[in-house]
Structure 1
Amino acid sequence: MANGNTIDLLLQIKDSNPKGLIDVVVNLFPELTKREAETLYWLSTGVHVTEAAKVMSISDETANSHIKKCKFKLNMKSNTDLRLIYNSRLMHLQLACLLNISALVLKH
């Protein structure tokens, strides 16, 4: 479980994230609600669900419910599976961006 310093650090990270970051995650996971996607994001950063709940200002039960729904909707069995699918989709997005940038550079 996180101590006060960890939560403070997570809140600083939350405040420094680009405003549209969660919207990107929502677009990567259209199967999920915005809050489910946000919970998945925090889980995928490596924090415990309890820490994610504190950062999101929701109860542990609500955060666990979001994770359970993510698992169901994405057909995953564990939190590790959720982290893997999150990273996989994120890497595909990064690759697509790089390919688009490369194509633009090669055009000119």
Structure 2
Amino acid sequence: MAELHTSDLMTQFKSNPPPDIFSVINTLFNELSDRETIAFYWLSQGYQINEISIAMKVKPETIKTYLTRCKQKLNQKNNLELRLLYQCRINTFMVSCHLNVFFHVCYPTP
């Protein structure tokens, strides 16, 4: 996997805004498939496996499989570590976006 740079993502999203949160998460976690990303997102928002399975219209065992793959691909031991990794990456990205907007508004380039 190529190293992820927040400034590259901001430039990419500025010229081509993402249509939804899953597009952002897919970019931040490009190791994951689309379905894994969706399950990972809902887990990170505090939903239980049964709730995620209802939302995604699949069996709970399928959600467990998606999350197991997420743990393997992201090198995490358990669901808590997955949640923490999600929060870390998404928060870093969001803070960078806010700072970028702040500096462009307060200190515009000539």
TM-score calculated relative to the size of structure 2? 0.78
Aligned equivalent of 2:108: 107
Q: 2:38 — aligned with what?
A: 38
The one-letter code sitting in structure 2 at the alignment partner of 1:107 is P
Residue by residue, what CA displacement relative to the aligned partner does 1:24-80 show, whole Å, maximum 9, x if unpaired? 111110000011010000001101111101101111111000000000000000100
Deviation at 1:95, TM superposition (A): 1.2
4+ residue runs over 4 A deviation: none
Specify the code of the residue in structure 1 equivalent to 2:64: N
Q: CA RMSD in A?
A: 1.5
Structure 2: give runs of 5+ residues left out of the alignment.
1-18
> Which ranges in structure 1 are unaligned for 5 or more consecutive residues?
1-18
Residues paired across the two proteins, number: 91
* TM-score, structure 1 normalization: 0.79
Q: Which has the higher helix share?
A: 1
TM-aligned CA deviation for residue 93 of structure 1: 0.7
